[in-house]
């Protein structure tokens, strides 16, 4: 066995869709497995089928005792190959909307009166698995196509650290899948210049405005120095990807400018992916 994926996350976040996508990518997929049985199943599959790619779906229907022992199970699985945990998460209000639209009960509905209680308890129960996640994906605004694209990108270069640079706007919420978040709202805001408002941080007029500001340059340099120092350590620690999120108020000017500049500075030595989350809101 060369690669094992454990796919889990909040109910309604897209675990079943993720497994279908992984099957299309060549993974042998099995869903709804008790955590305690994972090593035994993997051993059997490895001996009888000599599989290269295996994806195992795990959810909150495993017993609480099994979920608490996930660390031990994870270490046992590592003897069969590279193990990654994909954790899918979604904002609470979106989960509530999805369950209402689907008219399906939450797996914990028989234990709690409200859907919100189910969602909060599920987070607690899955925490031992979430802590081990090597890939966390926020599917709040995702279509199935978006999920497929994200999984393909993050799994396509397993032996190389992928640095995901993401701009976002605080008024639309902090990304749930960020490893590091840098706040650049204190920098000069092109939004208040009528001539600059229509542009983004990718456009020349905004880049000239921000690039001529000393505080902006110092902020960029500090973030760049941090990444240059620590990215090699993350790679040595067998991280497959890391998400660096840069936020300003609306996610159109300052954060986009810093992400674009970081991409240009880092791409000589690192595999970079860029996501401007609020592009759909740009004027």
Annotated binding site for ATP: 9-16
Among residues 179, 195, 200, the alpha carbon closest in space to that of 252 is found at: 200
Question: Angle of helix 204-211 relative to helix 214-236, nearest 10 degrees?
Answer: 100
The residue count for the chain: 283
Rg (CA), the chain: 21
User: Annotated binding residues for GTP, as ranges?
Assistant: 59-62
Using the Cα atoms of residue 177, residue 141, residue 196 and residue 201 in order, give the sign of their dihedral: positive
Of 76, 101, 98, nearest to 9 by C-alpha is 98
Helix ranges, the chain (H): 15-24, 38-49, 64-68, 70-77, 92-102, 115-130, 144-155, 194-197, 204-211, 214-236, 254-266
Question: What residue numbers does the annotated binding site cover?
Answer: 9-16, 59-62
Q: Would you tell me how many other CB atoms lie within 10 Å of the CB of residue 83?
A: 23
């Amino acid at each position: 066995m060369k690669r094992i994926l454990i796919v889990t996350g909040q109910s309604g976040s897209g675990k079943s869709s993720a497994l279908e996508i992984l099957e299309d990518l060549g993974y042998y997929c099995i869903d709804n497995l008790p955590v305690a049985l994972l090593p035994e199943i993997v051993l059997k599959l490895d001996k009888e089928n000599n599989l290269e790619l295996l994806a195992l779906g795990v959810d909150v229907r495993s017993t609480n005792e099994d979920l608490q022992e996930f660390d031990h199970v994870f270490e046992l699985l590592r003897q069969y190959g590279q193990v990654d945990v994909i954790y899918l998460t979604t904002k609470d209000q979106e989960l509530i909307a999805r369950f209402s639209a689907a008219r399906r009960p939450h797996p914990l509905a028989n234990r709690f009166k409200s859907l919100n209680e189910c969602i909060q308890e599920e987070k607690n129960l899955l925490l031992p698995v979430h802590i081990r996640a090597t890939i966390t994906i926020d599917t709040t605004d995702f279509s199935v196509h978006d999920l497929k694209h994200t999984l393909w990108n993050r799994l396509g270069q397993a032996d190389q650290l992928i640095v995901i640079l993401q701009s976002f706007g605080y008024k639309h919420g902090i990304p749930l899948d960020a490893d590091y978040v840098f706040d650049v709202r204190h920098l000069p805001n092109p939004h208040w210049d009528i001539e600059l408002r229509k542009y983004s941080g990718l456009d020349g007029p905004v880049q000239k405005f921000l690039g001529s500001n000393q505080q902006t340059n110092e902020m960029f340099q500090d973030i760049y120095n941090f990444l240059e120092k620590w990215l090699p350590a993350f790679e040595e620690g067998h991280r497959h990807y890391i998400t660096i999120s840069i936020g300003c108020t609306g996610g159109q000017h300052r954060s986009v400018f810093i992400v674009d500049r970081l991409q240009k500075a880092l791409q000589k030595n690192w595999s970079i992916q860029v996501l401007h989350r609020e592009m759909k809101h740009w004027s």
